[in-house]
Amino acid sequence: MYTNRLKESSVIFFVLIIVFFTLTACGNHGTKPNFTDSVTKGADENSRQDIVEDKDQLLINPDDVRILATIDKFKTAIKTPDLQLLKEIIHPNGLYSMTYFTDGRDPNVGIHVDKEKLREDLVLESTDGYLGITLPSMGFRNNDDLQTDIPIQRSEFLQQFSLNIDWQSLNEVDFKNSLDALYQKLLQIIVNNNKDIAQVFALKDDYYAFTKSSAIFDPYTELTGNWAVFHKEGQEFKLVSVIELT
């Protein structure tokens, strides 16, 4: 009896050994979870995403960043109001103010404002006492949508489009005589994207027109809204004109 039990025990032990080695062999040939591989894979995916994002960043036009930053300063300056901040972005030759009455109910107003003689309340006034635009009342300061990204419109037409005003050598008399022609130029610009949204048009000779305006063409043509014209000076953008169409 003792001999039979010993034989049975030996058989069971032998079977267990076979089962153990069989499972071990199967495990070695199988696919086991690997935490390190998962982390490495995730890191590789993040790296690829970073490369794509970096590539996108390289595609951003530096001038777009600068003009939008300048526009943001402009909006902040007229909302606060902040005279010193406004002076930072105004062209050294001063600022031209145009108020245009599209229905002809009042005389149009065009004045030149000396940068160093800007009023604290940001009411634009010429050296001979004529009043222009009250900057804090412009539509640019009150619209919530101006706090979001502002699209910059570019096209072959706009790249060749000029306002036909030499802002560098302009004088107040010539500016007053050009108001009607300037209004027609703005009409030609807005048809490229006639939406009542805040947007920027990149024009010829490094001029950028920031506007929130819209036009109608039937039964008559009328453009209303606000415009601010900037010019690239070196690596900076300077404000040369503000325009109110009413």
Summarised one tens digit per residue, pLDDT across range 56-101 is 444 688 999 999 999 999 999 999 999 999 999 999 999 999 999 9
Q: Does the pLDDT value for residue 154 go beyond 60?
A: yes
Q: What is the mean pLDDT of residues 188-216?
A: 96
Query: pTM for this structure?
Result: 0.75
Higher pLDDT, 3 or 178: 178
Pairing of strands 198-202, 152-153: parallel
Dist CA 137 CA 175 (whole Å): 23
Q: What is the mean pLDDT of residues 17-32?
A: 46
pLDDT of residue 149: 79
Residue spans of the domains in the chain: they are: 2-58, 62-245
Summarised one tens digit per residue, pLDDT across range 120-134 is 999 999 999 999 999
Multiple choice CATH, 62-245, 3.10.450, 3.20.20, 3.40.50, 3.40.1350 = 3.10.450
pLDDT of residue 139: 81
